[in-house]
Amino acid sequence: MSNIALSTSVSLCEDTTEQYELANLLAQAGYTATNSQVLALYVQNAAGNYVVAPADSYLTKIDADTVQLDLSKLPNYNGSLPIRILATDAAGALITLDVAVTADPVNDAPEGADNAATIDEGASYVFSAADFGFVDSVEGDAFAGVVISTVPAGGQLQLSGATVSAGDEISPADLAAGNLVFVPDSGFTGPANFSFQVRDDGGVDLECGGSDLDLTPNTFIITVDPVYASLGDRVWNDT
């Protein structure tokens, strides 16, 4: 019986599952096998040593000639993930196949937060980046902008004096400069709502996909309070 040491590599997207035929992996490594069979599977421990893959591992044996990588068992992991397959074939060879697995990153969507503000009738509201509650808890990407999903009734969102339409994206620079403003209609009081989605700067990988835009729009409610004027013992609504 001959001992053969081989190596190859595979890549897959984080949080995904792929199955691999042992014969194909061996062929990638330059070895043509007949009736190849998996004998044992190994993963690396924290110290970098190979240990037998436990039953609940991300690396499992599906049948005699098929192994599976299930990266959903390593949520959000990306990077290097070496594995080892001990196998045999019809020629009686004992094959040690080292596979350099690369888990490619997927940009997880950021999250915004619902918010609210109150202004007096006739006043306007200037937005800042903090108003939209941006958080990217997985990758820690930076805030890249906010998309206005729907616009409010009872007033207008204005960017540097121009009316904002649904689908327009506001940059961090414009928010920092105070360029995004809600201007209520003359005489309007009550709540004015609009929805938005925050974006991060992680981009979208063409192969693995992901999202740099919050998938669930949030709501901002601006309440315009009426202003009352008084003269002596008379009080009236100043509209």
Mean pLDDT of the chain: 94
DSSP assignment letter at 227 = -
Confidence of residue 95 (pLDDT cuts 50, 70, 90): very high
As a whole number, mean pLDDT of residues 92-106 equals 95
Of 83, 25, 36, 29, nearest in space to 63 by CA: 36
As a whole number, mean pLDDT of residues 213-222 equals 98
With a cut of 80, say whether residue 210 has pLDDT above it: yes
The per-residue pLDDT for range 148-179, each reduced to its tens digit, is 999 999 999 999 999 999 999 999 999 999 99
The lowest-confidence range among 113-127, 139-153, 225-239 is 225-239
Q: Which domains does the chain show, CATH number per domain?
A: 3-104 (2.60.40.10), 115-231 (2.60.40.10)
6 contacts 26 by C-beta, under 8 angstroms: yes
**Residue 217 CA to its chain's centroid (Å):** 15
With a cut of 60, say whether residue 121 has pLDDT above it: yes
As a whole number, mean pLDDT of residues 197-205 equals 92
Confidence of residue 238 (pLDDT cuts 50, 70, 90): low
50 contacts 84 by C-beta, under 8 angstroms: yes
Tell me, what's the pLDDT at 221? 99
